[in-house]
């Protein structure tokens, strides 16, 4: 490293990118924000002002040549992840790559191989693994609070209205990828096993504007799964919901049950005759997971500086992609899909 | 008794009277509703239809002569309690008397003396002593869940708009009597001690129609108290609140804290963009304490039939009246009032 | 009728039977408990004492000949429902039959036909339709609180340890029948449609004692469903859970979300250093649905006396049986099951 | 300013001091942490490591001479506040002073005069004014959600065991100052008025070790107050509670009620047979108000840089001190204390 702090370049300065950038600019120890890479000039300049930063690159490849950049945070549309991550690895940069990791298992394999070949850290952005409430829940289960895990239910419903490219499932892999990647990873984390078979149903209920051109698009999905170790899982997801950001986990055990997450946000409740008791819902994943992102970014820096493995590996990212694809196949074929056992046997 | 069941006459067939009457008509074991006494003919006839009952007396004194009546439940305005209870006791009837017990300590003394002389049960209607959540809370504290009790906070706020006679504090003893008698009894129950000194502030915030004619009337009151055993208490009360029926208890101990009561009623929560999370408030004490009234009525029957002391004695009723009067005096004189120690020494 | 009140005989005086019996004995208007039928003499005599009742029949067929019996409440094991209901109908008795209605669609058809032929009321015991919180939720949705319904999620998990005969899925139809019949009915109620396709997974996690002899037995089940009108549904169920009785509903709409049910029971929360915040869970369906049973029983009496259709018809009972059987088939065959469209077309 | 960012020196590098220091070191815009002043060398060096900072002064007077220091954050024991603030003002430094502002009204007057004379910003550390939930609550009330304010109830109970000097009320002004200053300020904020009369009771329930030497020490206090505009207030406070950090606000209005604050922390609930439903309590004010401190620090920087008045003025600090002293007097004299009207008339 050029300095005693890890120099970080964030690639993609949209809303999610800014969260990481703000963290590296002052909230993460032993790191500093060195630059951003963002093709849109207006976005880039606004981000620099916001971040009190003076260096931005229109093309991420320029950042690859910047010696002050030790690590890259990839926050671009999914379709670009593979190329950027492989190039970054080849340039010797450590990588924190947002979810979903890539479009296909093959892309994931290429990314993992590149990181291994170049001996750089590759961490995938499942920040719930760093959220205090999820971590506490996992600890409680490890301590036996609910006996053995039987069923893991995870849901994520978000208010975001899809961008046009997201209506095309072939380009976005759909809400299962964009939204429920987190839930898929959470199920793997809490079952400590791999998906064995999935069955999913989906439909477009809230986005009539997409119905004609994108008949495969869905904005509501339910998926049920069995795991290799015999446990059960279920996921539901939605986009364009009009009530807030809703991310909750429920784990049923042989001896109890555990809940993570609340829909209410502020701790302020008003009660009057016309409304009854009323409290605001969580508005956005940005409010809900602010601190989780910070811990995730810190965890990445620590893994790089300490030479320890990242908490969320390329393999974790790849397995989620695989489940997304199986879920989408189940939706299309209206039948359960069994996941390829060969690859699962590679887990251990 | 004329039958193997306790024959009960309810005196006063208004809303509170009907709750008791419905209980004795079919929800309480070893008792039956024999008659009601109600001077208003329309009210009486409607109640009889509702209760599938054929006997009502316009004057409670007629009921005193009815041999089928073993016990009386007194649910009239407070001002009549003393005369009715004394007459009932002299007629050998057991008595469940609604709160507040009477207007003054002297009246309470007369009622207690009459019951003792005639060897009948006199129970006062503090039904919270029979509410499952209050009972469970008391047990938890006895088991040491919060250490020693330090501070007992109890509040009751109700939606009822006072009737005209209630604006006159001289006639009604005000909301401290009508509403907060329950809280006063709860503080005695949870401190297991007697009020030593009280200080109260009060004002009329919601009833402008009463301001000119009844300048002493208050619809919001806060009272703080010390107890003989050194514990602390606080009460707040209100009438004409426009948001529901609110009765909550909070007990602070040396090792923890305990909460009783919720403002939300139905367990149904709706969330949408315009309202956020929304759930109805408890509407009325009738919804909140339905089962407590049933257990209270059963407890009264059991005490009579088993010859055991009632769970809420005349002494309990009298001490609440005493505190009400001290609280009202504090409001008028704007200073703390010390309760008469002679009488307190009689407690044990 | 022999009297101006509907004479009711409860068949089966176990715990569920007693709930109905207590209601008809004093909590339901225009009805009276006339007798019980119960083959076990000890159980019968104990129930009679409890109910202050003097008439019990060891055989339900004796009750059929009792002119004082206008209506029968059938609370026996499911396998006997068909014979009893058909006999009761043929004897001109009105019938409230507990869920699940029967073991097969064919049995349901016979029961419905018998009731129609004899012009008696046949109501099925889905008491959640009478629970105030479910009813309020349904009203909220009708008023547009969450837009159009997208997904209905319902779960029931209970603490009961199955009796030996219940381990045999062929005899009991399993937890989908015994526990989740309620959820199936709730999904039909809230989608206002019929199940189109179901997929279910199940396993035995908590009952090792049954594994060898009853390999098909499951104590945890997840089912996902599509409906004829395009909506989605999911159900999960469990028996032998060791944390309480858990019945919750979540309805996702195009404009919002709605929740019914809480796991906490008493409204009492204790907080201390060793436990954090702590509150008891709902113990049993008997605590949770006490009032729903009373409203159900009243609704049955009203339907009989007013000559109006029952709120939960034989058709509702039959459709639930059909879905149970499809769910069990899906578990066995590990694939989605499409429900017979011919019968569904009969709905309207 | 020496730089385009406000240079900040934090005086006192204990736990509360570190919260401010971390904020200025990277979480507050347009500011930078320049130095800390801390007499304890070990504490100072540890803080510098934690903050990646190279400059610390053993004596705050040295910081006064540092031109890189534009502003000072005073986080020392209360007894030193007056001298430090006056010296800082005289040195032309802007000041953010932690609560309680000082020991007496006279000290506050001296501090306010010094800030005015030197034209520097003086802000007092009532960070609840910057907490999102309190701010949202205030907005809701302004929008009429509960009608006119009637009663403001605020409580703070903390787990901290007092340090020895705090047992001496003459040195610490007691928990009313150390803990309930926040509540006093909240009542002024939500009533938009001044305290008129206070009555307080207090006792030592949890600190037997202090009873003999410090008979005036109290660890539990309840205070009730009337306001100049006729509204009502109540406060309760405690130290050494063993269940968590508890800060809640309840505002009763003519048309409704509003609640701020929760005792549960993590959003994780575990339920099993032995515990029932269980969730951790808030551990510390540091967890609860982390973001409020950041917003407070940002607000201070903004006020300095924009030349706008601080959101919490020296007058606000002084009025809280005045109420603390009146409360302590009420406890000692066991009677209500009327606040000096002359000073109150200066408010407007």
Q: Which of D29, D140, D268 sits opposite A133 (nearest CB)?
A: D268
Q: Do B27 and C29 touch (CB under 8 A)?
A: no
Q: What is the mean pLDDT of chain C?
A: 94
Model confidence at A109: pLDDT above 60: yes
What ipTM did this prediction achieve? 0.94
User: What residues contact A270, with CB distance under 8 A and at least 6 apart?
Assistant: A277, A278, A279, D140, D145, D146, D256, D257, D258, D259
**What pLDDT is stored for residue D266 in this prediction?**
76
pLDDT exceeds cutoff 50 at C345? no
CA distance C59 to chain B (A): 28
For an interface test with C, give the residue of B137, B146, B245, B267 to mutate (most C CBs within 10 A). Answer: B267
Answer whether A117's CB lies under 8 Å from A126's CB.
Answer: no
**Tens of pLDDT along D145-181?**
999 999 999 999 999 999 998 999 998 999 999 999 9
Inter-chain residue contact D242 with C272, CB threshold 8 Å: yes
pLDDT confidence of residue B282: 94
Chain A interface mutation, best of D134, D154, D266, highest count of A Cβ atoms under 10 Å: D266
Assess D47–A contact: CB distance below 8 Å, yes or no.
no
Cβ–Cβ below 8 Å for D258 and A280 = no
Q: Tell whether the model's pLDDT for residue A325 goes beyond 80.
A: yes
Cβ within 8 Å, pair C220-A147: no
Element (H, E) at D44: helix D41-51
Instruction: List, for residues D187-220, the tens digit of each pLDDT value.
Output: 999 999 999 999 999 999 999 999 999 999 999 9
Report the candidate in C195, C151, C149, C150 with the shortest Cα–Cα distance to residue C176. C195
Residue with the bigger pLDDT between B229 and D2: it is B229
Percent of chain A with pLDDT over 70: 97
Interface contact D201-B226, CB threshold 8 A: yes
Nearest Cα to Cα of residue D11 among D75, D94, D82 = D75
Q: How far apart are the first and last CA of chain A?
A: 33
Residue of C226, C232, C247 to mutate, testing the A interface (most A Cβ within 10 Å of its Cβ): C232
Quick check: A341 pLDDT over 80? no
Contacts of D29 in chain A (CB under 8 A): 52
What is d(CA B167, CA B215) in angstroms, rounded to the nearest whole number? Answer: 9
Cβ contact, residue pair D140, A29, below 8 Å? no
Kindly state whether A309 is in contact with chain C, defined as any CB-CB distance less than 8 angstroms.
Answer: no
- Taking the CA of residue C232 and the nearest CA in chain A, the distance in Å comes to 8
* A42 in contact with D, Cβ within 8 Å: no
Closest CA to C196 of C348, C345, C339: C339
Q: Report the chain C residue with the minimal C-alpha distance to residue A244.
A: C256
Where would I find the beta strands (DSSP E) of chain A? 6-11, 31-37, 56-57, 71-74, 94-97, 122-124, 149-157, 195-203, 220-227, 232-238, 246-253, 256-260, 268-272, 276-279, 337-338
Share of chain D above pLDDT 70, in %: 97
Residues of A in contact with B280 (CB under 8 A): 276-277
Interchain proximity C25–B25, CB inside 8 Å: no
Q: To the nearest whole angstrom, how far is the Cα of D6 from the nearest Cα of chain C?
A: 42
CA–CA gap between residue B199 and residue B329 (Å, rounded): 9
D255/A contact by beta carbon, under 8 A: yes
| Burial class of residue B236, CB neighbours in 10 A (0-12, 13-18, 19+) | buried
Confidence class for position C1, pLDDT limits 50, 70, 90: low
- The CB density around residue B206, as the number of other CB atoms within 10 Å, is 21
Q: pLDDT tens digits, residue range D25-42?
A: 989 999 999 999 999 999
Of the candidates B115, B120, B74, the residue with the CA atom closest to the CA atom of residue B98: B74
Which residues of B fall within a CB distance of 8 Å from D152?
Answer: none
Interface of A with B in 279-298 (CB under 8 A): 279-281
Q: Mean per-residue pLDDT for A247-256?
A: 98
B46: distance to nearest CA of chain C, Å? 15
Answer whether A271 touches D (CB < 8 Å).
Answer: yes
pLDDT in tens, A220-232: 999 999 999 999 9
Q: For residue range D63-95, list pLDDT tens digits in order.
A: 999 999 999 999 999 999 999 999 999 999 999
Kindly give, in sequence order, each residue whose CB lies less than 8 Å from that of residue C333, ignoring residues fewer than 6 positions away.
none
Question: How many contacts, defined by CB atoms under 8 Å, are there between C and D?
Answer: 46
Among A220, A223, A254, the residue with its CB nearest the CB of C150 is A220
Q: How far is residue B337's CA from residue B325's CA, in Å, rounded to a whole number? A: 10
Residue A342 has pLDDT above 80, yes or no: no
pLDDT < 50 positions in chain B: 344-348
The pLDDT, as a whole number, for residue A267 is 83
Q: What is the pLDDT of residues C304-341, one digit of tens each?
A: 999 999 999 999 999 999 999 999 999 999 999 999 75
**How does residue C30 score in pLDDT terms, banded at 50, 70 and 90?**
very high
Measured in angstroms, the CA of D314 and the nearest CA of chain A are apart by: 28
Residue with tokens 């890259």: A72
Query: How far away is chain D from the Cα of A264, in angstroms, using its nearest Cα?
Result: 10
Residue to substitute from B254, B258, B277, B332, interface D, most D β-carbons within 10 A? B254
Query: Chain C within 8 Å of B257 (Cβ-Cβ)?
Result: yes
Its pTM stands at 0.95
pLDDT, average across residues D42-50: 94
Q: d(Cα A281, Cα A245) in Å, to the nearest integer?
A: 7
Please tell me the predicted confidence (pLDDT) of residue C2. 59
Question: Which tokens sit at B207?
Answer: 């009833």
- Is the pLDDT higher at C49 or at B347? C49
Look at B269 and C261 and tell me if their CB atoms are within 8 Å. no
Does the distance separating the beta carbons of A230 and C150 come in below 8 Å? no
Residues of C in contact with B49 (CB under 8 A): none
Residues of D in Cβ contact (< 8 Å) with C206:
none
Cβ of B315 under 8 Å from any chain C Cβ? no
Q: Assess C232–A contact: CB distance below 8 Å, yes or no.
A: yes
Other chains touching C, judged by 3 or more CB pairs under 8 Å: A, B, D
Rounded to a whole number of angstroms, the distance from the CA of D165 to the nearest CA of chain B is: 22
pLDDT attached to residue D4: 81
pLDDT at residue A3 tops 80: no
Cα–Cα dist C216/C214, whole Å: 5
Tell me how far the alpha carbon of residue A73 is from its chain's centroid.
13
- A257:C157 CB<8 A: yes
- pLDDT for C348: 34
What are the residues whose beta carbons fall under 8 Å from the beta carbon of B235, sequence distance 6 or more? B153, B154, B155, B180, B183, B184, B187, B221, B222, B223, B224, B225
Which of A201, A254, A256 has the CB atom closest to C205's CB atom? A254
* Nearest chain C CA: its distance from D288 CA (Å): 16
- Among residues C287, C95, C320, the alpha carbon closest in space to that of C189 is found at C320
> Å from C127 to nearest chain B CA?
16
Exposure string for C210-240, b = 16+ CB within 10 A, e = fewer: beeebeebbbbbbbbbbbbeebbbbbbbbbb
pLDDT of the residue at A345: 40
Contact status, residue A240 vs residue A159, Cβ threshold 8 Å? yes
Classify each residue of A16-47 as buried b or exposed e, where b means 16 or more C-beta atoms within 10 Å of its C-beta. bbbbbbbbbbbbbeebbbbbbbbeeeebbeeb
Confidence (pLDDT) at A135 = 97
Tens digit of each residue's pLDDT (9 = 90 or more) over D300-329: 999 999 999 999 999 999 999 999 999 999
Return the residue of B nearest to D223 by Cα: B224
Residue D348 has pLDDT above 60, yes or no: no
Q: What is the DSSP letter of C345?
A: T
Does the pLDDT value for residue D343 go beyond 80? Answer: no
Distances (CA, A) of A210 to A245, B229, D15, D27: 22, 72, 54, 42
Other residues' Cβ atoms within 10 Å of the Cβ of residue B113? 13
| Residue matched to tokens 């006064």 | D64
Strand pairing category for D94-97 and D71-74: parallel
Question: pLDDT tens digits for B3-24?
Answer: 689 999 999 999 899 999 999 9
Residue-by-residue DSSP string for D186-233: HHHHHHTS-EEEEEEEEE-SS-GGGTTT-TT--SEEEEEEEETTS-EE
Cβ–Cβ contact B67 with C under 8 A: no
How many C-beta atoms surround the C-beta of residue C101 within 10 A? 33
- The chain A residue lying nearest B264, using CA atoms, is A277
User: How many CB atoms lie under 10 A from the CB of residue A238?
Assistant: 26
Contact status of D263 with chain C (Cβ, < 8 Å): yes
Subunits next to B (3 or more Cβ pairs <8 Å) are A, C, D
């Amino acid at each position: 490293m050029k300095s005693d702090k890890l120099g970080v370049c964030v690639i993609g300065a949209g809303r999610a990118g800014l969260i990481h950038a703000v963290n590296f600019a002052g909230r993460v120890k032993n790191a500093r924000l060195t630059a951003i890479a963002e093709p849109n000039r207006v976005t880039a300049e606004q981000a620099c002002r916001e971040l009190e930063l003076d260096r931005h690159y229109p093309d991420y490849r320029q950042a690859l040549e910047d010696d002050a950049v030790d690590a890259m945070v990839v926050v671009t549309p999914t379709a670009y992840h593979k190329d950027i991550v492989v190039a970054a690895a080849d340039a010797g940069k450590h990588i924190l790559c947002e979810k979903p990791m890539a479009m296909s298992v093959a892309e994931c394999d290429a990314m993992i191989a590149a990181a291994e070949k170049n001996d750089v850290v590759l961490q995938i952005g499942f920040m719930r693994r760093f959220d205090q409430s999820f971590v506490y829940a996992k600890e409680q289960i490890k301590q036996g609070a609910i006996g053995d895990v039987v069923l893991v239910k995870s849901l994520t419903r978000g208010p975001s209205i899809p961008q046009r490219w997201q209506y095309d499932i072939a380009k976005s892999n759909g809400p299962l990828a964009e939204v429920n990647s987190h839930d898929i990873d959470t199920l793997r984390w809490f079952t400590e096993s791999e998906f064995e078979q999935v069955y999913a149903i989906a439909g477009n209920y809230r986005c009539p504007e997409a119905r004609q051109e994108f008949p495969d698009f869905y904005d509501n999905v339910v998926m049920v799964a069995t795991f290799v170790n015999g446990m059960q899982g279920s996921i539901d997801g939605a986009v364009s919901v009009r009530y807030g950001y809703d991310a909750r986990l429920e784990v049923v055990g042989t001896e109890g049950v555990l809940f993570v997450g609340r829909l209410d946000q502020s701790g302020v409740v008003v009660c009057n005759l016309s409304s009854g008791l009323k409290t605001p819902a969580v508005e956005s994943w940005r409010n809900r997971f602010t601190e989780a992102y910070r811990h995730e970014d810190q965890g990445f820096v620590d893994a790089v500086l300490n030479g320890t493995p990242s908490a969320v590996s390329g393999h974790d990212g790849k397995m989620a992609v695989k489940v997304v694809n199986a879920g989408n196949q189940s939706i299309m074929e209206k039948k359960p899909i069994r996941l390829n056992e060969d690859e699962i046997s590679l887990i251990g």
